[in-house]
Amino acid sequence: MYVDRGRELSIIFFLVLLGIVLAVFAPGFYNARNASDILVNISYITIAAMGMTAVILTAQIDISVGAILAACSTVAGLSAKAGVPIPLVFLYAIGTGAAIGLINGLLVAYARIPSIIVTLGMLTVIRGVIILVTGGSWIYDLPANFRTVGTGSTLGLPNPVWLMLATLLVGAWVFSQTRWGRSLYAVGSNPAAARLAGIAVERTYVSVFMLSGALVGLATMAFATRFTTVQSNTGQGFEFVVITAVVVGGTNIFGGSGTALGSFLGALLVGVTGTALTFLRVSAYWEQSLQGLFILLAVALDVARKRGALNFSFRWPSSRRPT
């Protein structure tokens, strides 16, 4: 199997470079507390990014994830306050995400509406429904057993980090080793050919949107649990961060290539840069610009490589070029 590790290696290269800059100008960056903070901060991004990777692999896009995160957090917060057992709380959240994803997927696959329009409309509708349900007020006083899920640690690592690592491992295995995972690449590369090869293309679209929604639901375990309140406007701009992580991580926006590890590294780069700015005493207001630049650079590299303008590329020795 052909795997291009070029992007993953360039991100690691860039992280090392950033690490050197930080070591020289802000050695205070290096401490266990800070490293753990960064990992916790990217945990829910990475979890959602696994779903977004699947969506983008099939050449679709889901810009409703921020609104879904808000919906799932609201469901989790309200049911936790109502005394629902904690495992069930997260089942509800995941179910909410999956249900919204199902609607997205059906509209994309069978009504043939472009995914950007579907998820744009869905985003508006979800945000409205949330306000309708909560009356626009925040959810306060989340129970302690709910919050320990996000703030507690197991074996020295914060729970959200465990959750992220588990999702990453499963994601990497599913994308590279399972029949469904491989079908994502086929559908994204050439839907017509995938159909002729016997892949149920429509069902694949529905499944990726459901997965994306469900994983956003899972991400609430590493997100909503860390705060004392659920704000009614929570998750705004989340879709942008997730898409940045995935695209910077090397998933081709035209579909057909990308890896779970890449998306994790993309999220890591976004997280480290954000914190690094603070340590380098750069105003946090510039952070958004920098993230935008990352996306542009990453995609420009993709395009240049596709055109063969850049002949250099880092590869693992064992990989072969596709014939």
Partner 1 sequence: MSDRPSKRTLALPWSELVLVVGLIIAAIYMNGLSPAFLSFSNFFEITRISVETGLAALGMTLVIITGGIDLSVGSVLGLSGIVMGILHHMGLEVWLAAAIAVGTGALCGFINGQLITRAGIPPLIVTLATLAIFRGLALGISQARSFGSYPPEFLALGAGYLGSVPTQLLVFGVLALLVGLLLAKTTLGRFIYAIGNNAMAARFSGVPVNRVLVLVYTLSGALAGVAGVIFTARVSSARSDAGIGTELDAITAVVLGGASISGGSGSIVGTLLGLLLVGVVRNGLTLAFIPAEQQAIIIGSILLVAVLLNQVIRLRSRRN
CA distance 305 to 307: 5
Asked if 214 and 91 touch (Cβ cutoff 8 Å), the reply is no
The least distance separating partner 1 from the CB of residue 244, rounded to whole angstroms, comes to: 8
What is the chain's length?
Answer: 323
Q: Which two tokens stand for residue 74?
A: 């609201």
- The answer to whether 310 contacts partner 1 (rule: CB under 8 A) is no
The least distance separating partner 1 from the CB of residue 238, rounded to whole angstroms, comes to: 13
Q: Which stretch binds partner 1 (CB under 8 A): 81-89, 219-227, 264-272, 290-298?
A: 290-298
Choice between 20 and 293, CB closer to partner 1? 293
Within 168-187, which residues bind partner 1 (CB under 8 A)?
A: none
The least distance separating partner 1 from the CB of residue 36, rounded to whole angstroms, comes to: 27
The least distance separating partner 1 from the CB of residue 41, rounded to whole angstroms, comes to: 18
If 0-12 CB within 10 Å is exposed, 13-18 middle and 19+ buried, where does residue 75 land?
buried
Q: Distances in Å between the alpha carbon of 272 and those of 38, 91, 237, 256, 267?
A: 7, 31, 18, 28, 9
Count residues contacting partner 1 (CB under 8 A)? 44
Choice between 148 and 288, CB closer to partner 1? 288
Closest CA to 212 of 302, 131, 113, 103: 103
CA distance 260 to 234: 26
Within 35-64, which residues bind partner 1 (CB under 8 A)?
A: 61
- The answer to whether 138 contacts partner 1 (rule: CB under 8 A) is no
CA distance 22 to 153: 28
CA distance 169 to 291: 26
Q: Where are the alpha helices (DSSP H) in the chain?
A: 6-25, 32-57, 65-81, 86-109, 115-134, 144-151, 159-177, 179-189, 191-196, 201-219, 238-248, 260-279, 287-307
Q: Which stretch binds partner 1 (CB under 8 A): 170-178, 191-199, 255-263, 279-287?
A: 279-287
Within 106-135, which residues bind partner 1 (CB under 8 A)?
A: 107, 111-114, 116-118, 120-125, 127-132
- The answer to whether 99 contacts partner 1 (rule: CB under 8 A) is no
The least distance separating partner 1 from the CB of residue 171, rounded to whole angstroms, comes to: 22
Q: Which of 240, 277, 279, 305 touches partner 1 (CB under 8 A)?
A: 240
Q: Which of 138, 162, 227, 254 touches partner 1 (CB under 8 A)?
A: 254
Asked if 97 and 103 touch (Cβ cutoff 8 Å), the reply is no
Choice between 61 and 218, CB closer to partner 1? 61
Interface residues with partner 1 (CB under 8 A) are 61, 107, 111-114, 116-118, 120-125, 127-132, 136, 240, 243-244, 247, 253-254, 283, 285-293, 295-296, 299-300, 303, 307
